[in-house]
Structure 1
Amino acid sequence: MLRPATAQDLDLIKALWLAEERYIDPPEPLQIAEAAEAGLLFVWQLDDAVAGFAALKRWHPGVFSLAAVVSTKPGQGRALVRAVQAQVFTALGGHRLGLDTTYDNAKALHLFETTGFIREGVMRECWQRPDGEWADCIFMAILKRDWQP
């Protein structure tokens, strides 16, 4: 079940977000609290336990990006992404949901493609890893008209 994050969830979300440093930018100061206040931070809850989260950014009315998505339970990534899509395209009235991931994150690329995202382009050397290496990113998006609940 996807639900809005509460103040009690913020420390756990921050810990999960920071644990994924290889492929996800660490949150900027106040980013987690601001996303929660804006109604753009969600908790993935299974059997009364937090099993992940998703953070969105609103770029323009109806245009969202997936800032971070983390599932702690194997096999739950697809269900979490589909729940986020449903949230964006129904409750938030979204038209477009975009994201980017590094070119070598095969697991994420597969997950997003199997949930309807389309590759739209490559951003060369768009992200610098903690070891200093620059990585190309693949930009992907799904439009409401292409989404299949």
Structure 2
Amino acid sequence: MTTEIDYGRLMHRAMRSLIRDVLAEVAERGLPGQHHFFITFDTHAEGVEIADWLRERYPEEMTVVMQHWFDDLDVTDDGFSVTLNFGDAPERLVIPYDAIATFVDPSVEFGLRFESQDGEEDDEDDDAPMAEDVEDPEAHHDAEVVSLDSFRK
């Protein structure tokens, strides 16, 4: 039995559950209004499936945009898969929730950041950059990733 409650792990699990619920609703009903997502993920995390050319171009992390065109969004308990258009070349991506570094909906200034992908919390790194928008560079919007720490009093 542990001597402490691992709030960081529990918070990450809750945040990933929120992402799953949002994506499941979008898979069922589509994106409402101006909502769209920037999702940054570790391209080498366990379970990530992307085309070799994408992994070569983005060897560490990649940000995709789900906005104007996406297809076959499938949401599971462990992650999601979606087909996105990269310069008129549709590509299927499989992204486990554990691979996600940031999830942002700039239309409502909402964002989640997972500070560490290896299970250790690192509250000092609030300046981690988002990767380049590769799905639709013309649709790039400035967005601020909001750390949950900013809401603490």
TM-score, L = length of structure 2: 0.33
Q: Provide TM-score, normalisation by structure 1.
A: 0.33
Higher helix residue share:
1
| Max Rg structure | 2
Q: Which structure would you say has the larger RCO, counting Cα contacts within 8 Å and 6 or more residues apart?
A: 2
The structure with the greater share of residues assigned to strand is 1
